[in-house]
Amino acid sequence: IHSLYNIIVCPDSFTITPTLQLTEQDVGFKFHVTVGAIGSVSATTVAYIAVHIFNAELPNHVKMTRTFYITKILPVGLFGCATVCLSNFAFLHLSVTFLQMLKSFTPVATLICLALFGLAHPSHETVASVCAIGLATCIAVYGHGTFSVVGFVAMMGSILCEALKMATTQALLTGKVRFSVLESQYYIGPAIVAWSLIAVGILEAQDMVESQGWALIANNPHPFLVAAAAGGAVNFASFFVIKTTSSLHLKILVAIRSALLVLFCALFLGEPITSLQATGYTLALIAFVFYTYVTTASPQ
């Protein structure tokens, strides 16, 4: 039941994708790093309002020294920003199919990082089930994609940064300090916003000025308000799922939710699905059931 609940609330880029399509296709705003930053600004604003207006408590405030912030908080923001920038760069060189194939191994990379950080001590059964989920998802999205060495390296860098972000975030939420969800957003949010603004300044600001991107925001505020609301919700939900389960569980739930969505649409809504997709996603669900059994029987 706990896994089913988290499947419902788990966030990922799939939650943000409709807002990216809304701002790009309907408005013509093609600056994805900026759209992502809007969500981070929204979540951080909510956290600051909760603390400074509604007097929400920050139990670990006394531990927040300059050294702690630089060594523990800033890297999380850097890894998060690098994940978005590298994946956007890879998108320019690789097909969506090939990107999905590579991204299916994010849980495996996350598991490796958690083990290296000493945050997880997985059994052989857990490792096997995680690898099986990644392989089955890869089979489901297999297709004739466009390959590029530059795009491949960028996407692998994005996966590595995402895994590092998950590990460092989990260390803050479940380690010695044990931040609450609100504390995590209050402290990590500004770091993510700062790194995102730097990335926007380097990658998108000039084109945005030349194409009058700011005017698109002013003249079409509704899609960007949706992006702010969705992005803010995703930020808080991500911290919640990692806090209550683990970052590995979050990445696995994202893959399984996608499989459930595809199979549900095929079975009940008549959406077309290939035999390869059905086989891959079914195997992913079986591997997830085994993963759930193993982790429940012997928590990592």
Mean pLDDT, the chain, whole residue set: 83
Cα separations (Å) of 227 from 49, 85, 293? 19, 18, 37
In the numeric block, which tokens belong to residue 43? Answer: 């979540």
Residue of 68, 131, 143 lying closest to 98 (CA atoms): 143
pLDDT band at residue 168 under the 50/70/90 scheme: very high
Measured CA to CA, the distance from residue 124 to residue 244 in angstroms comes to 23
Task: Decide: 143 and 200 in contact? Cβ < 8 Å.
Answer: no
Structure confidence at residue 21 (pLDDT): 56
Q: What are the tens digits of pLDDT across the range 74-124?
A: 999 999 899 888 888 888 788 776 777 788 888 999 999 999 988 888 889
Structure confidence at residue 144 (pLDDT): 53
244 or 189: whose pLDDT is higher?
Answer: 189
Structure confidence at residue 146 (pLDDT): 66
Question: What is the value of pTM for the model shown?
Answer: 0.80
Residues 6 or more apart whose CB falls under 8 angstroms from that of 107 comprise 130, 133, 134, 248, 251, 252, 255
**Proportion of the chain above pLDDT 70, given as a percent:** 88
In the numeric block, which tokens belong to residue 176? Answer: 């010695």
Structure confidence at residue 56 (pLDDT): 94
296 or 128: whose pLDDT is higher?
Answer: 128
Structure confidence at residue 24 (pLDDT): 64
Residues 6 or more apart whose CB falls under 8 angstroms from that of 34 comprise 200, 204, 208, 213
